[in-house]
Amino acid sequence: MSSTANRSKLACSACTRRKVRCSKTVPCTNCVRRGEQESCGLDETPPPTPSIARRPSTAASPRPPTSELEDLRRKVVELEDAARTEPSAEVRWQPLANDDDGGSSPPDNVMKDAASILEFLAWGRRKDPDYRSVVSPEATFSTKAPSGDLREAGSDTFDECAQPAVLQLLLPSPRQVRQLVDYHDECLLWYHGSYFAPTFRAQLEAFYTRHDGLIDSPGVNLQWVALLFSIISAALACAPPARAETWGFRAPEERKTLSKRWFQAVITCLNRANYTANLSILSCQAIATSTIAAHLLGFSNSQSIHLAAAVRIAQSLALHRLGPEAPGTTVEKEIGRRVWCQLCSQDWFSIPFSESYLVNPAYSTSEPPSNAHDHDLVPLPLHVPTQTSYCRFLREVAALMPRLQDSLVACNTAYTRYEQVLSWDARLRSLATSERPVFLSSAPIEPSWPVWTPWARRALAISSSHKIIMIHRSFLSDSFSNPAFAFTRRTCLAASKTIIKEYKSVVVEDGPVLWIHQAFSVAAAIILILDVLHRDPAEAERTEHRTLAQEVVGILTLCQNSMIASRGVKLLGALLAEVNKTRKRARDGSLLPPEKNFNVPSFVKTFCEEKSAAAASAKNNQPNQMRQTKRASPPRTPSSSDNPPPDYYDGNEQQQEDVLDFTQVADLNFGFPPAGRDGANSFENLLHLASHDYFSIF
């Protein structure tokens, strides 16, 4: 007994109170990690003797429960005060000490995932290539990590849009609401199919006729209001500026402000409706519909969390089990199948971000949405384009992603992993060519087909090409230096050129602005620049690929109200500057071998430091600017800062270098890299930088 008591005294009082393992040094490791080394010390209170433990003394008065309660309350107040007064310093990540475990060093891991990290940064998403969890339950950093989502420069009374009166002020006129809804139904709904237009239109009319368009009117479901805000937010964010001007939204700043405020209102309405407890398909529809605007507006991180919640809500509502015998009317089951189809696609397409997925296809027994027109829901042949046709086919493409992921995880060597990559590459090529509906192919467009048919063709070409890149992503970086993966290099370069070719055609059309246009073009440009950095200056492809990347930057510079474009311009500009450095070294006669020209860890570090410094400088200048604005301006509603089809069969050899040929299948008799090469990818780090803006303050 006495030895046990003596051992317990070696633990500091903080670790004893928290019931965690102590290093038994002063200060101990846990207190140093928490920044409490000054208060670390041994507990001076003597331990109870065995006799006292067995038979408490009647003379000793126990501590009143109210006293313990007051201590707890006082501690809560201290913690809240500390959280409020904590300085908003730059987050400094402190990596854990590396044990000699034979693992690769952090710079090596950054190099392996470089391109993906750059792309993900442009999306506003995070993909940590070397994240290590902490065994201790205590945090390893004290300052709040940036979310990567759009953050406003300052706070105001409209920041949370928490009051129904504020939500009401955000709604435009009934005429404008109907115009926005009409545009979404005609030009955007084909892309996601998350709600049933006839039902929503009837609900919208009831909202204005029975409730006078008042959000706080009794009987108005806030989850339905969230769906309304998601529809009009996406319409305003995706509509061409000229189209938005015809609705009365003439100022670009107003379009930017309203689209973001409406997106934020979606989440406000859902939270006020307690949507995680009051389960409704409306919340699933609102969240799934919001995705089309979330990436453009800079809310990718939070949207991914809401999508996860929507998946769980949908499963709780049994939307994943809408088979032929499921109860409900035809319309009800169709609505459920449509939103579930979209949630599955979004979940499976997000696998490159997390290397995991939420929806297991083995447990999803719902039938796909009917290929039918909304007015009668009579099933039609697959070659007839309907409101659900594109979503149905894209779900087939998305369904390949979890199967690919499972196949790669089951492999034990780079050889077998690459075999799987080539196998799924061939499967996607077959799906994208021989199995796609005729209206999505290169067939002449018939007059009876919907207005969105050419937009869908380009969207499919861009998305399918990007998925080819995603299949090869783990071997892409090695492909620039290892001839064993030459097929991956050729494939990804051809896919990148296809994406840029289609994007250049998109910008001259009067179609909607889809986030995939910009995001996947950034990814394509990253690949072309990586190829440039791994070529000799005399090679003709070097100039061609650099020019294509510069054209993407030029197009993105003209994009309005897009965080993807803004981040992409910064990142691609920095990468092109690296290309110029190699050209200068070539003129000076100091050119290094191509594989050593580009130091990815150094580039990532420099890029992040420069953007962090610029953001900190801008943030420091904001208080004075805001005070001057408030003095000079009267009170007002604050603004938010928060045509040919793809040619897959062109027989011209020169033309085949410019577009991805989905009919080309790799030979499995490939050479293999030397020992030690695991095929891991430096592409992902660069994609991460493109899709995650750590320094966004507007």
User: Alpha-carbon distance 279 to 284, whole Å?
Assistant: 9
Position 180, amino acid:
L
Residues pairing with 115 in the sheet: 683
Establish if 121 belongs to a structural domain: no
Whether 477 is in a domain gets the answer yes
Better-scored residue on pLDDT, 498 or 151: 498
Please say if the pLDDT value at position 245 is more than 80.
Answer: yes
Domain match, 304 and 217 both = yes
Q: Does the pTM of the predicted model rise above 0.85?
A: no
Q: Is residue 667 part of a domain?
A: yes
The verdict on 385 and 470 lying in the same domain is: no
What total of structural domains would you count in the chain?
3
Task: Please give the residue that has the higher pLDDT: either 239 or 535.
Answer: 239
What is the domain range of residue 25?
1-41
DSSP state of 187: I
Instruction: Using the predicted structure, report yes or no on whether residue 88 has a pLDDT greater than 50.
Output: no
Tell whether 385 and 507 lie within a shared domain.
no
Per-residue model confidence (pLDDT) at position 642: 39
Q: Is residue 496 part of a domain?
A: yes
State pLDDT tens for residues 268-325: 999 999 999 999 999 999 999 999 999 999 999 999 999 999 999 999 999 999 998 8
Q: Are residues 342 and 194 in the same domain?
A: yes
Do 416 and 366 lie in one domain? The reply is: no
| 438/350 same-domain check | no
Please name the residue ranges forming H helices in 368-485: 389-398, 400-409, 414-433, 453-479
Q: Where does the pLDDT of residue 198 fall: very low under 50, low under 70, confident under 90, or very high at 90 and above? A: very high
Q: Is 417 left (phi over 0), alpha (psi -120 to 50) or beta?
A: alpha
Query: In 3D, which of 341, 508, 449 has the Cα closest to residue 441?
Result: 449
41 pLDDT band (50/70/90 cuts)?
confident
Answer whether residue 123 is part of any domain.
no
CB burial class (10 A; 0-12, 13-18, 19+) of residue 332? middle
Residue 657 has pLDDT above 70, yes or no: no
Query: What percentage of the chain exceeds 90 in pLDDT?
Result: 55
The count of other CB atoms within 10 Å of the CB of residue 537 is: 14
Does residue 324 lie within any of the structural domains?
Answer: yes
Q: Which residue has the tokens 């199948």?
A: 337
Find which of 120-129, 140-149, 161-170, 197-206 is predicted with most confidence, using mean pLDDT. 197-206
**Chain CA centroid to CA 181, Å:** 25
What is the DSSP code string of 503-520?
HHHHTTSS----HHHHHH
Q: Burial letters for 632-658: b for 16+ Cβ neighbours within 10 Å, e otherwise?
A: eeeeeebbbbbeebbbbeeeeeeebeb
- Joined tokens for residue 89: 């310093």
Q: Is the pLDDT of residue 226 over 60?
A: yes
Say what the pLDDT of residue 71 is.
66
Most confident of 63-77, 325-339, 585-599: 325-339
Of residues 207 and 601, the one with the higher pLDDT is 207
The mean predicted confidence, pLDDT, of the chain is: 79
DSSP 8-68: HTTSBHHHHHHT-----SSS-HHHHHHT-GGG--B--SPPPPHHHHHS--SSSPPPPHHHH
Whether the CB-CB separation of 306 and 226 falls below 8 Å is answered with: no
Do 415 and 360 sit in the same domain of this protein? no
Answer yes or no: do 351 and 435 share one domain: no
Give yes or no for residue 591 having a pLDDT over 50. Answer: yes
User: Is 390 found in the same domain as 432?
Assistant: no
CA distance 109 to 130: 7
Helix (H) / strand (E) element for 199: namely helix 197-209
Give the model's confidence band at 154: pLDDT under 50 very low, under 70 low, under 90 confident, else very high: very low
Q: Quick check: helix, strand or coil at residue 121? A: helix
Q: How far apart are CA 192 and CA 395, in angstroms?
A: 10
Rounded Cα gap, residues 260 and 598, in angstroms:
37
Instruction: Say if residue 360 is in the same domain as residue 471.
Output: no
The pLDDT assigned to 104 comes to 44
Q: CA 259 to CA 355: how far, in whole Å? A: 31
Q: Is 75 exposed, middle or buried (0-12, 13-18, 19+ CB in 10 A)?
A: exposed
Q: What are phi and psi of 46, to 5 degrees?
A: -65, 140
At residue 5, does pLDDT exceed 70?
no
Q: Does residue 622 belong to any structural domain of this protein?
A: no
Between residues 93 and 372, which one has the greater pLDDT?
A: 372
| pLDDT, mean of residues 614-631 | 59
Higher-confidence residue: 490 or 585?
Answer: 490
pLDDT tens-place string over residues 339-363: 999 999 999 999 988 889 999 999 9
Q: Looking at the structure, do residues 478 and 612 belong to the same domain, yes or no?
A: yes
**Residue 593 confidence class, pLDDT cut points 50, 70, 90:** low
Q: What digits encode the pLDDT tens for the residues 517-560?
A: 999 999 999 999 999 999 888 888 999 999 999 999 999 999 98
Under the banding of pLDDT at 50, 70 and 90, the label for residue 65 is low
CA 690 – CA 698 distance, rounded (Å) = 17
Q: What is the pLDDT of residue 627?
A: 53
Give the pLDDT score at 120.
63
Percent of the chain past pLDDT 70, that is, above it, reads: 67
pLDDT tens digit sequence for 406-444: 999 999 999 999 999 999 999 999 999 889 999 999 999
At 438 the pLDDT is: 94
Alpha-carbon span 579 to 587, nearest angstrom: 13
* 152 occurs within a structural domain: no
**Domain check: are 511 and 574 in the same one?**
yes
Q: What is the pLDDT of residue 551?
A: 97
Higher pLDDT, 151 or 543: 543
List, as own/partner pairs, every contact residues 324-331 make where C-beta atoms lie below 8 angstroms and the sequence separation is at least 24, other chains included. 324/367, 330/377, 331/196, 331/199, 331/377
Beta carbons within 10 angstroms of residue 347's beta carbon: 22
